[in-house]
């Protein structure tokens, strides 16, 4: 499966959100999208998922224009984990995850034992099996996020789009859920595209990183090409030190706090 | 993991079980209601009279020397009224459950779109101008109310849809604007109408008195069709209440589905308002209670609310016509007397989901 975007442009009123961005995502690839707040990451993801029709450019899913397809065939191939949304009613965790099977069911069909199996596996993969009968409203944000990820897994997608999937998770679950995504891309050959805030996490997991700034793509390549002092400093406007992760070998960044000068006694960058 | 399919099957059985229980309760309420009144009729008598009218079942009903007077009272006087209560209660509760899901707000009700104001204006015009009846057995009031509410529905759609992509907020605002305008027109007509004021007030409070099979025939096709559509759309509604984007990501076109759902719930509301007047609180509290008992899955919640709405209104109407007999209380007064305190209670204990 292949998702390609060609020269996407999008505006909100007169504000340019995305400015001529092209990208591609292949099966089995793990791509991270980085960029400061307001750089158009979420808009780009919504355009790719077909939720927002861009002002210019096309998105092709296996050669078919996503914005001309009906939502159902798109949902059979692409699953999306959005940022935490508002849930008005106390659906149970099991019901929520079962909603991931909707694209594969017809209007009058009922959940088959196979659907139940897939849902159980998805819940096990994100560690929410023990919550199955609980109401989603009673869960913490981190738990809710794992439920939504389980729902996306239950969709059995070929492409997985993630909008900051780790934002509410503690470091343990953060690594665990990123491991789940990584293994999906490796073992099940799913293309994963994740908007991430954490540069270090992105560098550890992504095969390829795309850096956005003010709606433009400023870098696209393997982590070693994108996580560099020059790019980080120009995009985020802070002083950065880039080192190699001692265990994994990918570049890791340490930001230098602005108030350091003159404090002297505690100098984290001085190694 | 071996346990899961078993657990899920019991969940599905639970769904079926609740619907069977509710249906039995509805039938019981109808039989009891048919027996209660100025002439009390024993339950056994009522059941045998009613069952004789059901095809195939009638064969096994023993003929226990019925009195013709009882049969006339039940079939000609009480049954049409009971059927109407079932249709109206079911429609309002079904539309209420739907709109609460659609707006993602448990305090929405079927009148939120301003349909009731259209019906009210139509009825007011028909009553105050003594519009002649066009259909035998049916006064001009329900016909005028229905036409006016369909017109209101169209107007609200048109106003909300001007900007192309319709948001739910635009719909609500448009409904509020249209209905306050129509209420103003109606108040003016009421002020000028003199003699018919009392009749208009009775209509506005919602009442099921002086209704016959003609009313049942008028309302039931729209109500049955609309409820059928809503139950089919229950699955989409589950996804839509999570938000437009999420619905789309799970394969539902939110704009398209919302259009169908809005249309069906408006139609159902218009049908019931035009024959029963503005009966409040049924569409608000019944879905609420059902959601507390059965959970938010609309595939169970919608049919359950429809049946429970029928039970509630049949009971309320029985109280309305017997409490101060031979006089009658408008049934809307009874539902409001029960509904308002309950509404207050729900508001007090309502948990704020965001925290």
Read off the pLDDT of residues B150-178 as tens digits, 9 standing for 90 and up. Answer: 888 888 877 876 545 556 778 788 888 88
Using pLDDT thresholds of 50, 70 and 90, give the confidence band for residue B352.
very low
Residue B24 banded pLDDT, cuts 50, 70, 90: very high
C-alpha dihedral, A89 to A90 to A94 to A96, nearest 10°:
20
Contact A75 B250 (CB under 8 A): yes
User: Residue B81 has which token pair?
Assistant: 């009224």
The answer to whether B141 and B279 have CB atoms below 8 angstroms apart is: no
| A137/B353 CB distance under 8 A | yes
* pLDDT > 90 fraction of chain B, expressed in percent and rounded: 20
- Is the model more confident about A137 or about B62? A137
pTM, full prediction = 0.86
In a domain, B10, yes or no: no
Measured CA angle at B193 (ends B192, B196), to 5 deg: 160
On the 0-12 / 13-18 / 19+ scale of CB atoms within 10 A, A11 is middle
Assigned domain for B7 exists: no
pLDDT tens-place string over residues B66-118:
567 788 888 888 899 999 999 999 999 999 999 888 887 777 888 877 888 88
C-alpha–C-alpha distance, residues A175 and A179, integer Å: 6
A24 three-class SS:
strand
Q: Which CATH number do you get for residue B194?
A: 1.10.3470.10
Helix axis angle for B79-102 and B254-276, nearest 10°, is: 150
Name the pLDDT band for B349 (thresholds 50, 70, 90). Answer: low
Whole-angstrom Cα Rg for chain A: 20
Structure confidence at residue B25 (pLDDT): 95
Residue A161 host element (H or E): strand A159-163
Range of the domain at B68: 25-33+40-103+111-350
Q: Of B242, B241, B302, B229, whose CA–CA distance to B15 is shortest?
A: B302
How far is A113 from A119, CA to CA, in rounded Å? Answer: 10
Cβ(A7)–Cβ(A20) below 8 Å: yes
Nearest to A87 among B7, B235, B353 (CB): B353
> Distance between CA B190 and CA B139 in Å, rounded?
19
* Weakest mean pLDDT among A53-67, A253-267, B2-16, B274-288: B2-16
Run of H or E including A30 = strand A30-34
pLDDT in tens, A124-141: 888 888 988 888 988 888
Please give the pLDDT value at position B3.
46
Q: Exposure of A63 by Cβ count < 10 A (0-12 exposed, 13-18 middle, 19+ buried)? A: exposed
Q: Among residues of chain B, what percentage have pLDDT more than 70?
A: 87
- Is B9 a domain residue? no
Q: In B, what residues contact A, Cβ < 8 A?
A: 1, 4-5, 7-8, 11-12, 101, 104-106, 232, 235, 238-239, 241-253, 291, 295-297, 351, 353-354
Say yes or no for a CB contact (<8 Å) between A72 and B252. Answer: yes
Q: What is the structure's pLDDT at B7? A: 58
CA dihedral B43, B44, B49, B54 (to 10 degrees): 100
If you average pLDDT over every residue of chain A, what do you get? 87
DSSP A52-87: S--SEEEEEETTEEGGGS-HHHHHHHEEEEPSP---
Using a CB-CB cut-off of 8 Å, the residues of chain B touching A99 are 238-239, 242, 250
| Number of domains present in the structure of chain B | 1
- B345 occurs within a structural domain: yes
CB contact under 8 A, A102 and B252: yes
Cα distances (angstroms) measured from residue A189 to each of A28, A83, A109, A202, B140: 4, 24, 29, 19, 67
- Judged against a pLDDT cut of 90, whether residue A39 lies above it is answered with no
3-state SS assignment for residue A196: coil
Residue B11, domain member (yes or no): no
Residue A12 near residue A18 (C-beta atoms within 8 A): no
Query: H or E stretch including B22?
Result: helix B4-35
In a domain, B8, yes or no: no
**Separation of alpha carbons A245 and A251, rounded Å:** 6
In a domain, B307, yes or no: yes
End-to-end CA distance of chain B: 33
Contact predicate B336/B135, CB 8 Å: no
- Minimal Cβ distance to B245: which of A51, A88, A92: A51
**In a domain? residue B97:** yes
Interface A-B, measured as beta-carbon pairs within 8 A, has a size of 98
Query: B183-216: b or e for each residue (b if 16 or more CB lie within 10 Å)?
Result: eeebeebbeebeebeeebebbbbbbbeebebbbb
């Amino acid at each position: 499966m292949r998702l390609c975007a060609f020269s996407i442009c999008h505006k909100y009123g007169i504000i340019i959100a995305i400015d001529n961005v092209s990208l591609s995502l292949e099966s089995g690839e793990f791509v991270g999208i980085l960029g400061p707040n307001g750089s158009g990451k979420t808009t780009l993801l919504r355009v790719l998922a077909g939720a927002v029709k861009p002002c210019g450019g096309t998105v092709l899913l296996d050669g078919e224009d996503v914005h001309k397809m009906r939502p159902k065939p798109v949902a059979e191939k692409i699953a999306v984990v959005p940022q935490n949304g508002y849930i008005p009613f106390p659906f149970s965790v099991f019901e929520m995850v079962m909603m991931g099977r909707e694209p594969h069911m017809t209007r009058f069909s009922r959940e088959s034992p196979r659907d139940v199996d897939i849902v159980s596996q998805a819940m096990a993969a994100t560690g929410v099996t023990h919550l199955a009968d609980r109401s989603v409203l009673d869960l913490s944000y981190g738990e809710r996020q794992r439920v939504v990820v389980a729902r996306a897994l239950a969709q059995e997608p070929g492409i997985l789009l993630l909008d900051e999937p780790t934002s509410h998770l503690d470091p343990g679950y953060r690594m665990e859920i990123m491991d789940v995504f990584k293994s999906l891309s490796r073992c099940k050959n799913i293309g994963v595209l994740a908007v991430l805030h954490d540069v270090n996490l992105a560098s550890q997991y992504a095969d390829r990183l795309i850096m956005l700034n003010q709606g433009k793509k400023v870098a696209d390549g393997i982590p070693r090409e994108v996580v560099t002092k020059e790019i980080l400093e120009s995009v985020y406007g802070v002083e950065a030190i880039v080192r190699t992760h001692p265990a994994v070998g990918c570049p890791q960044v340490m930001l230098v706090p602005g108030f350091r000068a003159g404090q002297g006694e505690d100098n984290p960058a001085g190694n | 993991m071996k346990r899961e399919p078993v657990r899920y099957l019991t969940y599905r059985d639970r769904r079926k079980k609740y619907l069977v229980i509710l249906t039995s309760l509805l039938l019981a309420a109808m039989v009891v209601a048919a027996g209660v009144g100025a002439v009390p009729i024993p339950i056994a008598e009522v059941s045998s009279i009613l069952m004789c009218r059901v095809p195939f079942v009638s064969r096994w009903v023993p003929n226990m020397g019925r009195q013709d007077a009882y049969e006339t009272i039940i079939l000609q006087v009480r049954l049409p009224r009971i059927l109407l209560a079932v249709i109206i209660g079911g429609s309002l509760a079904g539309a209420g459950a739907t709109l609460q899901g659609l707006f993602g707000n448990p305090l929405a009700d079927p009148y939120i779109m301003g349909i009731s104001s259209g019906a009210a204006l139509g009825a007011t015009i028909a009553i105050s101008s003594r519009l002649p009846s066009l259909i035998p057995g049916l006064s001009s009031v329900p016909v005028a109310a229905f036409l006016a509410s369909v017109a209101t529905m169209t107007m609200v759609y048109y106003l909300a849809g001007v900007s192309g992509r319709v948001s739910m907020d635009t719909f609500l605002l448009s409904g509020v604007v249209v209905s306050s305008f129509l209420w103003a027109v109606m108040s003016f007509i009421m002020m000028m109408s003199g003699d018919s004021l009392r009749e208009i007030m009775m209509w506005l409070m919602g009442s099921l008195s002086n209704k016959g099979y003609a009313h049942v025939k008028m309302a039931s096709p729209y109500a049955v069709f609309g409820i059928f559509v809503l139950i089919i759309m229950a699955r989409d509604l589950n996804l839509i209440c999570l938000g437009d984007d999420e619905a789309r990501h799970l394969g539902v076109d939110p704009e398209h589905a919302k259009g169908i759902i809005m249309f069906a719930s408006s139609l159902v509301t218009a049908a019931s308002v035009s024959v029963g007047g503005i009966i409040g609180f049924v569409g608000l509290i019944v879905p609420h209670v059902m959601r507390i008992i059965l959970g938010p899955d609309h595939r169970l919640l919608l049919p359950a609310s429809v049946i429970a709405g029928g039970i509630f209104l049949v009971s309320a109407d029985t109280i309305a016509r017997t409490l101060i007999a031979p006089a009658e209380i408008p049934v809307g007064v009874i539902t409001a007397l029960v509904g308002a305190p309950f509404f207050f209670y729900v508001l007090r204990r309502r948990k704020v989901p965001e925290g």
